[in-house]
Amino acid sequence: MSEEQKRKRATYHLWTFTISKLLSTFGASVFAFGAGLFVLEMTGSAANFAITMVCSILPRMLLAPIAGYVADNYSKKMIIIIAQLGSILAVSTLLTFNVIHDGLTVFSIYAVTAVLSITSLFSGVTFSSSIATLIDSDRIQKAMSFNQASISIATIGGPAIGGMLYGWTSMSVFLMIQIIGYTIAVLLESTMNFRLYSKFEKGEKGNQKKESILAGIKGGIAYLKNQKILSLIIWISLWINFFFAAVNVGLPYILREQLKMAATHFGYVEAILSIGMLLGSIYFAIRKEVKYPLQFSKRGILFLTFLFALIPVPAVLHLTYYGNFTYYLIVNLVFGITLLIINTPIMVVMQKEIDEEYKGRVFGLLETMAQAMMPLGAIIFGVLYDVVPAQWVIWGSVSILFALLLYMMRPSIIVQAHPELAKKPPVKTEAKTAV
């Protein structure tokens, strides 16, 4: 296949990947919202609603390293198709149960939520490890931007569409729409060539003796330890995830408990974060690739800590109700844009720097660690907010995170990632004037 043919095929992949990701992510978002409403309506219990979250998070945390191993050792196309077919089967089983028994049970919702969490994990990790073999190197930033745009649209529209479908249609119609979305996604994915830019010849990896799962995961950890910049990126991501929990827990606490913001207005503040992320993804889709991604992300991360510090300010200054509302709309909008400024260049680096045979395991390990850090942070900061004023919890977290970032992303580390920054610019000499 000529380079021109490959590039045309990569363009097709770029759009197919975006549409299929949008459909599957949107479907998952709609189902999660509808399932939550169903459980709350049936039981009236927040604890039962929390169990649906556990059914979604726990499988991802436990199985992500295995998903990474599978992505590195087996056909990526088959993994994604099987995972999507698993989603279709799970929702179809729930639909059949609903028709036969004229209703659902809470346990059936828990079971399908867990299955969908597993199938989306395997397809998500495999897709993440496939970007560089689906798309040419020059357009990886655009692919990552489109990917994030799909997630943002699903985050914004999923609950709205889920709420409308849940209120206006029967549960059977609700589930049928889910199945149609997943089916279109799997049909699109079946037309993609996941080996377009692979460095391995067809069948080359399949002929190699495969390691055991445990040995493969250990190999991924060993590989990561030897990649200093990649290890740094992952550790930075984990610390940001951990301290981000201070915001996830603190923002609702400040807005709802301290400032008494109405639920509707609080919903707008939450939603505008995804709008900011969507705007950020559009920006990265149309701009040239970032020349020094780690340096670019460092500036974004330091600005993010500044935004963290702004969150408690209205609670201290005692602004008017609509002053508070406007303030948090602006802060959360900028917050969403900043997250994309940080994430997109870092993801491009990871796509380009991680060796193809280790990509799945690295993304799987990152998924596990990220999933573990979020509930850990939520528990720790949840306890702190009960005993320490909210502003001091956030400002203390900001101070620690800022110090960590200055150390972990010190100039010598940035130069290791971008050696060309160490080159001294040529000394300008003034032209001699004639006498």
Residue 383 sits in the same domain as residue 237: yes
**DSSP letter string over 314-376?**
HHHHT--HHHHHHHHHHHHHHHHHHHHHHHHHHHHHHHHHS-GGGHHHHHHHHHHHHHHHHHH
Q: Is the pLDDT of residue 177 over 50?
A: yes
Q: Which amino acid is at 332?
A: N
Structure confidence by residue, pLDDT tens digits, 31-54: 777 777 777 777 776 667 667 777
pLDDT band (50, 70, 90) for residue 390: confident
Count structural domains, the chain: 2
C-alpha–C-alpha distance, residues 126 and 176, integer Å: 26
Residues 186 and 303 in one domain: no
Last residue within a domain, chosen from 161, 194, 227: 194
Q: Is residue 40 part of a domain?
A: yes
- Segments forming the whole domain that contains residue 97: 1-194
Q: Which residues contact 74 (CB under 8 A, 6 or more apart)?
A: none
Whether 219 and 365 share a structural domain: yes
> How far apart are alpha carbons 375 and 38 in whole angstroms?
24
In a domain, 43, yes or no: yes
Quote the tokens at residue 352.
């380009």
The per-residue DSSP string of 248-295 comes to: HHHHHIIIIIIS---HHHHHHHHHHHHHHHHHHHHHHHHSPPPSSHHH
How many whole angstroms separate alpha carbon 131 and alpha carbon 54?
29
Domain identity same for 169 and 300: no
The residue with greater pLDDT, 295 or 150, is: 295
Does a structural domain hold residue 130? yes
Both structure tokens of 98? 């609903």
Residue 178 pLDDT > 60, yes or no? yes
What whole-number distance in Å separates Cα of residue 12 and Cα of residue 10?
Answer: 5
Percent of the residues in the chain that have a pLDDT greater than 90, as a whole number: 16
Taking only the tens place, the pLDDT of each residue in 135-145 is 988 888 888 88
Confidence band for 434, pLDDT divided at 50, 70 and 90: very low
- Residues 279, 355 within the same domain: yes
- Burial readout 376-406 (b: 16 or more C-beta within 10 A, e: otherwise): ebbeebeebbeeeebbebbbebbeebbebbe
Q: Are residues 245 and 185 in the same domain?
A: no
Which pLDDT belongs to residue 330? 93
**Structural domain includes residue 95:** yes
Residue 277: pLDDT band (50, 70, 90) is confident
Residue 423 resides in a domain: no
Same domain, 225 and 168: no
> Which single residue is written with the structure tokens 């943002």?
152
Residues 143 and 21 in one domain: yes
Do 272 and 163 fall into the same domain?
no
pTM for the model: 0.80
**One domain for residues 190 and 258:** no
Same structural domain, 232 and 357: yes
Q: CA 214, 216, 218, 220 torsion: positive or negative?
A: negative
Q: Amino acid identity of 280?
A: G
CATH number, domain containing residue 310:
1.20.1250.20
199 within some domain: no
How far from the centroid of its chain's Cα atoms is residue 256's Cα?
A: 26
Evaluate whether residue 337 is within a structural domain. yes
